[in-house]
């Protein structure tokens, strides 16, 4: 059963500017696995913006409770390149309170815009 849906849209240029102005922002928002590809190369600004949109979409699906930690929601990529959500800590606790035990994720970026949609299921 679907519990909630979350969606977020990010302007890539604005997001990249924020990362440039605040050098530690990337470390605060993303795990090492999110910042770098499996081969160790840095992810593109579009890919990072989409991952940020996914984290925002998760928070929206959970009702944006206070106290969520960015690293407690991680977007991982399977060997086929498909993105998945993993949650732990504060995000897992908020999800459990709402009965969420399964997530579906879609990421996209084109024309300077990155977007993400998540479906939270029970």
pLDDT tens for each residue of 50-89: 999 999 999 999 999 999 999 999 999 988 889 999 999 9
13 annotated ligand binder = no
78 annotated ligand binder = no
Residue 37 scores a pLDDT above 90: no
Q: Which domains does the chain possess? A: 2-121 (3.90.470.20)
DSSP 19: H
Q: Can you state the angle between helices 12-21 and 45-61, rounded to 10 degrees?
A: 100
| pLDDT, mean over the chain | 95
Q: Give me the pLDDT at residue 33, please.
A: 92
User: What residues are paired with 84 via a beta bridge?
Assistant: 76
Q: Give me the pLDDT at residue 52, please.
A: 98
Q: Give me the pLDDT at residue 39, please.
A: 85
């Amino acid at each position: 059963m679907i519990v909630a849906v979350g969606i977020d849209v990010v302007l890539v240029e604005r997001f990249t500017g924020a990362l440039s102005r605040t050098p530690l922002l990337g470390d605060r928002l993303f795990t090492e696995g999110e910042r770098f590809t499996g081969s160790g190369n840095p992810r593109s600004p579009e890919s990072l913006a989409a991952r940020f949109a996914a984290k925002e979409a998760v928070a929206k699906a959970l009702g944006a409770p206070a106290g969520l930690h960015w690293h407690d929601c991680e977007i991982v990529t399977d060997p086929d390149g498909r993105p998945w959500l993993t949650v732990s800590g504060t995000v897992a606790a908020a999800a459990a309170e709402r009965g969420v035990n399964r997530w579906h994720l879609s990421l996209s970026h084109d024309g300077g815009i990155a977007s993400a949609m998540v479906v939270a299921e029970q």
